[in-house]
Amino acid sequence: MRILITGATGLIGSELIRLSIERGWEVNFLSRQRKRIEEGNSQIRGFYWNPATSEIDIRCFEGVDAIVNLAGNNVAHRWTERYKDAILDSRINSLRTLRHALKRSGNTSISHIISASAIGIYPSSLTKLYTEEGPFAQDFLGQVVQQWEREVDTFAAMDLSVTKLRIGLVLATEAGALAPMIKSVKSLTAAPFGNGKQWQSWIHCEDVANMFMFCIEKKCKGVFNAVAPNPIIQKKLLKEVARSLRRPLILPGAPKFLMKLILGEMVTLLFSSQRVSSKKIETLGFTFAHRTINSAIESLLSK
Ligand SMILES: NC(=O)c1ccc[n+]([C@@H]2O[C@H](COP(=O)([O-])OP(=O)(O)OC[C@H]3O[C@@H](n4cnc5c(N)ncnc54)[C@H](OP(=O)(O)O)[C@@H]3O)[C@@H](O)[C@H]2O)c1
């Protein structure tokens, strides 16, 4: 098996490369960073692309069975109007660059594309439990994710099977939402966001990477939530991190208006609440290594 990964230098991509190599798979990856491409070897081959200018090394498709698409500007930055455009454009341009190049290459070995999507497609709610059926949010992130998914769907016209994984809050120690949380708990500056009752549908980094591999191996088509079976509220997640690090939580909840002054519109990410179901992928036989937050945090913090 050889897979082509876009956005491979990021949090999920790095874990996916690690697990693929462990399983004896071969990896091609696309990166905008020429230095990272040079780090490749016979099992991992890097190729240059720049979706902003539609540049791509077409040799990236050689010998590939499936594409994993993870590329996109990180959403956890201040949402200026310019950056909001970049969040959407980076995702659309990446998929278009891939699709046009794949068409030009005349490749016939690639039969499947599995793309990242996000649970930000669901409206914020403290009470609803979301399945893949929706409903879908009309705010900025909701619209970005819907456009992103529609762009992934265009690969079906090229006879590729299309899979979209709506990823939740990915837990890892090196990057993502958990890293700053650990830092603030250690320095006793951690506080819940508001009353901390917003649902966090999290997933361990290893489980999300494994889910991409599961979908490739089992040829799962369609859309699946990539979240662990037991979402928790934000306050509980923080408590679990503090318990594992044996530190007290001493500060009261940080008010939304104050955080909005500091972070701007992006504060939405911290206050939105999505309780999302993992049932659909489990019905197909996917098993989580980390079903509870306790198991996930213990495994990450004991590394
Ligand atoms: N982590 C989460 O909690 C989470 C949750 C929901 C959804 N997701 C989605 O899953 C995907 C992967 O997540 P991640 O956490 O691994 O992301 P990440 O760490 O931010 O990495 C994303 C990768 O995308 C590439 N990239 C960045 N800007 C780009 C641009 N303008 N054009 C093309 N490529 C660009 C970069 O690779 P190069 O610099 O090598 O080109 C980067 O390594 C993302 O699309 C993200 O939105 C993640």
Residue 258 has pLDDT above 90, yes or no: no
The average pLDDT across 264-287 equals 94
Residue 34: inside a domain: yes
State whether the beta carbon of 10 lies less than 6 angstroms from ligand 1: yes
For residue 11, report the distance from its CA to the centre of ligand 1, in Å.
Answer: 7
How far apart are the C-alpha atoms of 78 and 81, rounded to whole Å?
9
Q: Which pLDDT score is estimated for 266?
A: 84
Domain CATH for 32: 3.40.50.720
| The ligand 1 atom nearest the CA atom of 120 | 6
Residue partners of 200: CB distance under 8 A and separation at least 6: 168, 169, 231, 232, 233, 234, 237
Neighbours of 67 (CB within 10 A): 26
Is the C-beta atom of 94 inside 6 A of ligand 1?
yes
Q: Residue 10: inside a domain, yes or no?
A: yes
Percent of all residues in the chain with a pLDDT value above 70, rounded to a whole number: 100
Which of 35, 74, 225 is the pocket-test mutation for ligand 1 (most atoms within 8 Å of CB)? 74
Q: Is 3 in the pocket of ligand 1 (CB under 6 A)?
A: no
Give 128-172 pLDDT, tens digit per residue: 999 999 999 999 999 999 999 999 999 999 999 999 999 999 999
The mean pLDDT value for 274-297 works out to 97
Please give the number of the atom of ligand 1 that sits closest to the Cα of 226: 6
One DSSP character per residue, the chain reads -EEEEESTTSHHHHHHHHHHHHTT-EEEEEES-HHHHHT--SSEEEEEEEGGGTEE-GGGGTT-SEEEE-----SSS---HHHHHHHHHHHHHHHHHHHHHHHHHT--S--EEEEEEEGGGSPP-SS-EEBTTB----SHHHHHHHHHHHHHHGGGGGT-EEEEEEE-EEE-SSSSSHHHHHHHHHTT----BTTS-SEE-EEEHHHHHHHHHHHHHTT--EEEEE--S--EEHHHHHHHHHHHTT----PPPBPHHHHHHHHGGGGHHHH---EE--HHHHHTT---S--SHHHHHHHHHT-
Residue 255 in domain: no
Our count of domains for the chain comes to 1
User: Does any ligand 1 atom lie closer than 6 A to the CB of residue 72?
Assistant: yes
Helix axis angle, 140-153 relative to 81-105, nearest 10°? 10
Evaluate: CB of 73 within 6 angstroms of ligand 1. yes
Closest by Cα among 224, 92, 66 to 160:
66
Range of the domain at 50: 2-237+262-301
Q: State the average pLDDT for the chain.
A: 95
Residue scoring higher pLDDT (148 or 263)? 148
252 lies in some domain: no
Asked if residue 264 has pLDDT above 90, the reply is: no
Whole-number percent of the chain with pLDDT over 90? 83
CB 75 within 8 A of CB 18: no
pLDDT tens-digit readout, 191-205:
999 999 999 999 999
Confidence of residue 261 (pLDDT cuts 50, 70, 90): confident
pLDDT of 303 strictly over 90: no
Q: Does the C-beta of 90 come closer than 6 Å to ligand 1?
A: yes
Q: Find out whether the beta carbon of 194 lies less than 6 Å from any atom of ligand 1.
A: no
Which atom of ligand 1 is nearest the CA belonging to 167?
6
Q: Does residue 249 belong to any structural domain of this protein?
A: no
Task: For residue 242, name the pLDDT band (cuts at 50, 70, 90).
Answer: very high
Q: How far is the CA of 91 from the centre of ligand 1 (A)?
A: 9
Q: Is 243 a member of any domain?
A: no
Mean pLDDT, residues 249-264 taken together: 87
Q: Does 32 score more than 90 pLDDT?
A: yes
Q: Which residue has the higher pLDDT, 123 or 265?
A: 123
Asked, for residue 246, whether it belongs to a domain, the answer is: no
pLDDT tier, 265 (very low <50, low <70, confident <90, very high otherwise):
confident
Report CA(71)–ligand 1 centroid distance (Å): 5
Distance 32 CA to ligand 1 centre (A): 12
CA 252 to chain centre: 30
Q: What is the pLDDT of residue 280?
A: 98
> Does the beta carbon of 70 sit less than 6 angstroms from any atom of ligand 1?
yes
Read off the pLDDT of residues 103-131 as tens digits, 9 standing for 90 and up. Answer: 999 999 999 999 999 999 999 999 999 99
Establish whether residue 31 lines the binding site of ligand 1, counting it when its CB lies within 6 angstroms of any ligand atom: yes
What average pLDDT score do residues 264-279 get?
92
pLDDT confidence of 40, banded at 50, 70, 90? low
**242 in any annotated domain:** no
pLDDT, residue 63, reads 95
pLDDT for residue 33: 95
Given the DSSP bridges, would you call strands 55-56 and 222-226 parallel, antiparallel or unpaired? unpaired
Distance 83 CA to ligand 1 centre (A): 14
Q: Which amino acid residue places its CA nearest to atom 21 of ligand 1? A: 10
